Amino acid sequence: MVLNMVFNYASTNIHTNAVRAIHQLVECVANANPVKTMAKFFSFCAANIKIELENGASSLRTTSASLPLPSDATLHWNLAILRGAVYKLVCREFSNNNLAYISLS
């Protein structure tokens, strides 16, 4: 139930001033059930990140650390969600020394 509520909020809203908050919220949900969280959010985030990059998000440099470009807001939002969903899975795999699938090259 909570996972669906967070997913509905995250998939229908974008707030540049709440990127850290959505990351932490998704991470909290992932702490409860990382596999379900990843299954719910991964395809949504991957598709949106791909669309944003194809349409030029993050292609302009800026010196402002506090005001992201409007074209980057959706990219940052989806990256934050994905980071929150992935974090617990990665930590669990590191703690289990099950890193055979991770390539660092």
pLDDT tens string 29-79: 999 988 899 999 999 999 999 999 888 887 776 666 666 666 688 999 999
Output the pTM of the full model.
0.79
**Distance between CA 4 and CA 27 in Å, rounded?**
14
Find the domain containing 26 and state its range.
Answer: 2-95
Enumerate the H helices of 14-105 as residue ranges.
19-32, 34-54, 73-95
17/12 Cα distance (integer angstroms): 16
Q: What is the pLDDT of residue 104?
A: 39
Q: At residue 18, what is the residue type?
A: A
Give percent above pLDDT 70 in the chain.
75
Highest mean pLDDT among 2-6, 30-34, 71-75, 84-88: 2-6
Q: Is residue 89 very low, low, confident or very high in pLDDT (cuts 50, 70, 90)?
A: confident
93 pLDDT more than 80: no
Q: How confident is the model at residue 103 (pLDDT cuts 50, 70, 90)?
A: very low
Could you tell me the maximum CA-CA distance found in the chain, to the nearest angstrom?
41
Q: Is residue 54 part of a domain?
A: yes
Whether residue 37 lies inside any domain: the answer is yes
Structural domain tally of the chain? 1
Residue 100 lies in a domain: no
